[in-house]
Structure 1
Amino acid sequence: MLMPIPAQDFDPSEVAVGWQVLTLSGHRVVFATPEGELATGDEVMLTGRGLDPWGRVPGLRRVLGVGRLLRADARARTAYTQMLRAEEFRHPVAWDEASLADVDGLYLPGGHRARGMRRYLESETLQALVVEAFRRGLPVAAICHGVLLAARSIDPETGRSVLYGRRTTALTWRQENLAWQIARRTRYWDRDYYRTYLEQPGRPKGYMSVQQEVTRNLARPEDFLDVAPGSPGAFRKTSGLRDTPADERPAFVVEDADYLSARWPGDVHTLAHRFAAKLTQK
């Protein structure tokens, strides 16, 4: 199973939990980075340091308020520590050397920090890999901004996104905007930390959000799915609770044939478990 990631700033939960679940399920994960270098996740999302107003004060950085709520949870932090020692993580292949010939699936994690994520999201090499995976009928899983990479992957034979005609979810504008508004106040020295792309003058608010860009690449706006208000378990799925290996109730995962998608790190256990089962079935 191939997992391409950026050299820096990937979401530690989406990568490490995905790796852990897939590995424990008996699948071999092949990591790919831009030049085959050792990658590092988003330290702010890992530790929570830098998400509070006092986050730049050396003696106070370890005191967490907002950071404790928004950072990776204990399970994800443990998985990340374990992943850093794994041989497959320490010896990735380069993006342009990555091949789908000997893998049985493609996993696209996310992250939001523009410093590292833009190269990943804008890579024509990775977009070509995504197109190939869909053409081959390989199982593909994408979460958060990973869905945006899929949406930007245009099949040259059709001139359309590989997600055209499929149902998907991704990081919703409600989630992205909420985190952005919080950080604009608490991380005041880096007010747009939670936005990978900002709207240019004349564009409506949210135009460059993950949800809106993904939706523009779908056949119909209603093919972008979110938790329906009043649906069973809706409060739990939209409350900010995270799923666990034993509790899928907070998660929202969309399956469309061999394509699976999820919104944010709080869905990652469920997404990875269902993807592992899909790989086993193939």
Structure 2
Amino acid sequence: MARIIIPLPSLDFDPSEVAIPWKILRRHGHQVLFATPDGHTGRADALMLSGEGLDFWGFLPGLKNLKLLGLALRANAEARQAYADMENDAAFCAPLKYGDLRVESFDGLLLPGGHRARGMRAYLESEVLHRFIAGFFDEDKPVAAICHGVLAAARSVSARTGKPVLHGRQTTALPWKLESSAWSMMRFAGRFWDAGYYRTYAEQQGEPAGYWSVEGEVRRALAQDSDFKNVPAGTPGFFRKTSGLFRDSDTDTSAAFVVVDGNYVSARWPGDAHLFATTFADVLSREFARTGQASGLPAESLEDTGSAT
């Protein structure tokens, strides 16, 4: 059994990108722990759970319960149920503090995403967390990152090389195409009074479109532009994988896309969560078979899979 740590922001993380991997990793027999900046229980983005407030009438108290876009954009029923189950998990309710994390205490690191600037920036900008992430890469321990979690990795600098830990790695992340389409939907058909809801960071005057997108910033951390991977044209099911209209499930991962580079697994958005988690479980099993041991530290000491490359 591997011991996995999932750092979370205090609020606004994506529920699908946390709860689905939590469920799958536990099903594979792994122990999953959590961490937040202050050691208090984290809270997911409520809009992604309820869908209330994502339609253009969402600012009206009497109408916000009426959902149209909200039904399509919120976490699906499976993810919402997984999140409800996770809320009763002892480890989720009693997270560690970022400052107490030690690389040697864990066998794997999973970095989830979320997009709402209100809560996500503290997670993405934490120097304490960046150093912890860098330690995992420097020791070549298994790391999985999805969506904005890849951005947290891209901002982490190796103590050995002085370069971003993704420099020399192949990765995917939230594509600008998906990020910009969601942003446009909010500006013109949804939450127009909060048009930046889907943009964690926005461009300033004179900066090109997408410069501060997840894809834009991650690309700048790589050794070469071709190390950023999108679904190749001509891939079977290309539209299903790239339209943002379909999500994978326990029984069907045809809509998903992940990239594996050694002990590093990356994915794009909540629609990849099942394949992302099962692929990471495979990497953990492979690493355990190679080393023959897990971390072995007691909890008290801390008071169909596949991939595309």
Q: Could you tell me the TM-score, scaled by structure 1's length?
A: 0.98
Structure 1 pair 221–135 and aligned structure 2 pair: CA distance change class (3 A): same
Give the stretch that moved more between structures: 172-181 or 236-245: 236-245
Paired residues in the alignment total 282
Q: Conserved in 2, the CA contact under 8 Å of 1:2 and 1:100?
A: no
Q: Which residue of 2 aligns with 1:213?
A: 217
Percent same amino acid among aligned pairs?
Answer: 52
Q: Which residue of 2 aligns with 1:96?
A: 99
3-state SS, counterpart of residue 161 of structure 1 = coil
Q: Does 1:148 align with 2:151?
A: yes
Q: Which residue of 2 aligns with 1:158?
A: 161
> Matched residues in 1 for 2:209 and 2:138: separation?
35
> Matched residues in 2 for 1:152 and 1:102: separation?
22
Alignment of 1:1-282 (within 5 A): 1-185=4-188, 186-239=190-243, 240-282=245-287
Give the deviation of 1:281 after TM superposition: 2.1
> Matched residues in 2 for 1:160 and 1:213: separation?
14
Give the deviation of 1:59 after TM superposition: 2.4
Indicate the RMSD between aligned Cα atoms, in angstroms.
Answer: 0.9
> Matched residues in 2 for 1:209 and 1:13: separation?
21
1:40-84 deviation digits (Å, cap 9, x = unpaired): 000011111111011122222221111111110000000000000
3-state SS, counterpart of residue 17 of structure 2 = helix
> Matched residues in 2 for 1:157 and 1:104: separation?
20
3-state SS, counterpart of residue 237 of structure 1 = helix
> Matched residues in 2 for 1:202 and 1:159: separation?
30
3-state SS, counterpart of residue 107 of structure 1 = strand
Q: Conserved in 1, the CA contact under 8 Å of 2:138 and 2:160?
A: no
Alignment gaps of 5+ in structure 1: none
> Matched residues in 1 for 2:124 and 2:21: separation?
19
> Matched residues in 1 for 2:226 and 2:285: separation?
30
1:227-275 deviation digits (Å, cap 9, x = unpaired): 1222222111013200001111100000001100000000001100111
> Matched residues in 2 for 1:72 and 1:99: separation?
32
Q: Which residue of 1 aligns with 2:296?
A: none
3-state SS, counterpart of residue 163 of structure 1 = coil
Give the deviation of 1:11 after TM superposition: 0.4
Q: Conserved in 1, the CA contact under 8 Å of 2:138 and 2:159?
A: no
> Matched residues in 2 for 1:187 and 1:233: separation?
31
> Matched residues in 1 for 2:207 and 2:133: separation?
29
Which residue identity is paired with 1:126?
L
Which residue identity is paired with 2:237?
G
> Matched residues in 2 for 1:229 and 1:59: separation?
45
Which residue identity is paired with 2:57?
W
3-state SS, counterpart of residue 145 of structure 2 = strand
Which residue identity is paired with 2:78?
R
Give the deviation of 1:30 after TM superposition: 1.0
Give the stretch that moved more between structures: 265-274 or 51-60: 51-60
Give the stretch that moved more between structures: 235-244 or 3-12: 235-244
3-state SS, counterpart of residue 115 of structure 1 = helix
1:155-192 deviation digits (Å, cap 9, x = unpaired): 13322111011100000000000000001121011111
Alignment gaps of 5+ in structure 2: 288-309
> Matched residues in 1 for 2:233 and 2:64: separation?
38
